[in-house]
Amino acid sequence: MSAASHDAHHAHDDHGHGHEDGGAHGTLKDYVIGFVLAVILTAIPFWLVMGDVLPNNQMTALAVMGLAVIQVIVHMIYFLHMNSRSEGGWTMLALVFTLVVVVITLSGSLWVMHNLDSHMMAPMPHDMREVP
């Protein structure tokens, strides 16, 4: 009787464990690869800016933003263990939805505020940066 209930309990435990393992957790190799990539992707933008490597600032800015996007993806894959299968795809769906809202928020704010700025005739604090 006691053994049977113990077995049942154990079976339940295994079941729960199996499901949890279906959740995201990485191996040592994942973390090390992710870490090495992240270090490289962090070092390059700092080097570009501090060493003044590229000919003009615009190129440096583009490179820094591009590397940041790549590093975010690396973190998502190797540290947050994102994939399209975890939780039946719902984490990925939530992420995609969030990204859409983020893009609309950022580009929308910049667009509207820039438009507003350029329609203002009076000098904005924006123009006062030239004042010593």
Partner 1 sequence: MAHAQALTEADKDRFYLTEDHHPENGTLLGFWIYLMSDCLIFAVLFACYAVLGRNYAAGPSGADLFDLPIVAVNTALLLFSSITYGFAMISAQAKKVKPTLAWLAVTGLLGLGFLSLELYEFNHLIHEGAGPQRSAFLSSFFVLVGTHGLHVTFGCIWLVTLMVQVAKRGLGGEMKRRLMCLSMFWHFLDVIWIGVFSFVYLLGVLK
Q: Is 84 in the site for partner 1 (CB under 8 A)?
A: no
Q: Which of residues 101-130 bind partner 1 (CB under 8 A)?
A: 101-102, 105-106, 109-110, 113, 124-126, 128-129
Of 1 and 55, nearer to partner 1 (C-beta) is 55
- How near is the Cβ of 67 to partner 1 at its closest, in Å? 7
Cα separation, 69 vs 57, whole angstroms? 18
3-state secondary structure 46-59: HHHHHCCCCCCHHH
Instruction: Give the CA distances from residue 63 to residues 45, 54, 69, 99, 128, in Å, rounded to whole numbers and listed in that order.
Output: 7, 9, 10, 21, 29
> Identity (one letter) of the amino acid at 76?
M
Q: Which of residues 10-69 bind partner 1 (CB under 8 A)?
A: 13, 15-17, 19-20, 22-28, 30-32, 34-35, 38-39, 42, 45-46, 49-50, 57, 60-61, 64-65, 67-68
Of 1 and 60, nearer to partner 1 (C-beta) is 60
Q: How many residues bind partner 1 (CB under 8 A)?
A: 60
Neighbours of 3 (CB within 10 A): 7
